[in-house]
Structure 1
Amino acid sequence: MAAVSDCFSIGSMVSCTTCFKQSVEGEVLAFDQMSKMLILKCTSSNSSKLNDIFVVNLALCSDVQVKKEVEKVPDVPQSLNLQRLSTRVRNACEQKERWISAMSAGVGPDGQKLYMAISKTIKQVAWRGPNIVVFNDVTIKPPYKLEDVNGSPDSRQLKYVRKIVEKFLNDQADLDETTTTT
């Protein structure tokens, strides 16, 4: 492994293995020596016209290698839109936190999927044991069907959550129907 204190020149080709045993190889866009963060531009797995950008924490990587050192120092790169980037990173982190919350609740896949569907629209969603609690007012108990949605009868929040649950259940039924007919 290359010493993390080494500098990586912008434009160089670097490869490394993440702590998830994922091999990443790409062109260096930026490197911060203090935080040991490396930003790589890699060929997209989805499109030849696009690139994937990886932000890699070298402290959590192994087998870091410089595959090709840049010969000519490139022009000053365009500045990043940090506001837009930070919003995307924050949204991705929130999504991961919701997945972790859903998976650690100790409930089946139906409850996890419903939790995720609700959390895409409503941020005030949490687990209370096996129950999904929305707006601190509406509770959805297992087996997470429409009749399991409870709250104040005249509440707009209850009606709103019921619509989300109903749409989710209809979408799931459509998926089940599609998979059984094919």
Structure 2
Amino acid sequence: MRQKMAGVNECFSIGSIVVCRTCYNKDIEGEVLAFDPQTKMLILKCPASNGQPGLNDVHIINLSLVSDVQVKKEVNTVPEPPQSLDLYRLNNRVRNQIEEKRRLITALSAGVTPEGQKLFLAISKTIKEVCWQGSNIVVFDTVTITPPYKLDNVRGHAECKALTHIRKVVEKHVKEQAAAEAATSVAGSPTMPQ
């Protein structure tokens, strides 16, 4: 095991396993993810503190505040360059999340019931062309769902394919909500002695 003191301005190879003793006399062992020699910052990937497999803790360590650093396993191979971020996909995901929050705010400001909000969210998971017009849900600009947001409240042109599809979505949602409420009421009801 090679030992390095905190004040030494050496590089740490990505993928190496190191142990750092902090100023709190705590040892942190992990795999080097990154090292910046100018700021003496070391980023370590460690096993998850909650013990869950597949998860990791990430520690950012200021080597100026570390009393001891030991390299347990040195990696000398050049690691593969990290995959580039797909910023287009990331931006779309962020944009979609922002749009969903705006829709929810619009619904809340229109005084829409929780049932209406749940139905709106259920529809918007599969259909993006859904919006609020006051307290009404409008899908594909052709189908309107009015309060109290039940199957009888779905309106549109009879020959419209979207109407049939939306009616099925609403019917499924209403059944799921009824089943969830039934399960909640059964789980919450006290048991009667026999």
SS at match of 2:131: strand
Whole-angstrom CA distance in 2 between matches of 1:82 and 1:141: 42
Q: Percent identity?
A: 43
Residue 35 of structure 1 corresponds to: none
Residue 130 of structure 2 corresponds to: 125
Whole-angstrom CA distance in 1 between matches of 2:136 and 2:49: 40
Whole-angstrom CA distance in 2 between matches of 1:152 and 1:180: 38
Q: Look up the equivalent residue of 2:172 and give its one-letter code.
A: K
Pairing of 1:24-173 with structure 2 (within 5 A): 43=48, 47-51=52-56, 67-69=61-63, 76=79, 78-83=81-86, 86-87=88-89, 90-91=92-93, 93-106=95-108, 107-173=112-178
CA positional deviation for 1:95? 3.5
Q: 1:138 to 1:179 in 2, by over 3 A?
A: same
TM-score (norm 2): 0.57
2:130–2:140 CA contact under 8 A, matched in 1? yes
Whole-angstrom CA distance in 2 between matches of 1:137 and 1:104: 20
CA positional deviation for 1:153? 0.9
CA positional deviation for 1:104? 2.9
SS at match of 1:121: coil
CA positional deviation for 1:141? 0.6
Q: Encode CA deviations 1:14-42: one digit per residue, 9 max, x unaligned.
A: xxxxxxxxxxxxx9968xxxxxxxxx979
Residue 178 of structure 1 corresponds to: 183
Unaligned runs of 5+ in 2: 1-11, 16-30, 35-43, 64-68, 188-194
Paired residue total:
142
Whole-angstrom CA distance in 2 between matches of 1:97 and 1:125: 11
Whole-angstrom CA distance in 1 between matches of 2:57 and 2:79: 21
CA positional deviation for 1:79? 2.1
For the pair shown, which has the larger CA radius of gyration, 1 or 2? Answer: 2
Whole-angstrom CA distance in 1 between matches of 2:51 and 2:154: 40
CA positional deviation for 1:114? 0.6
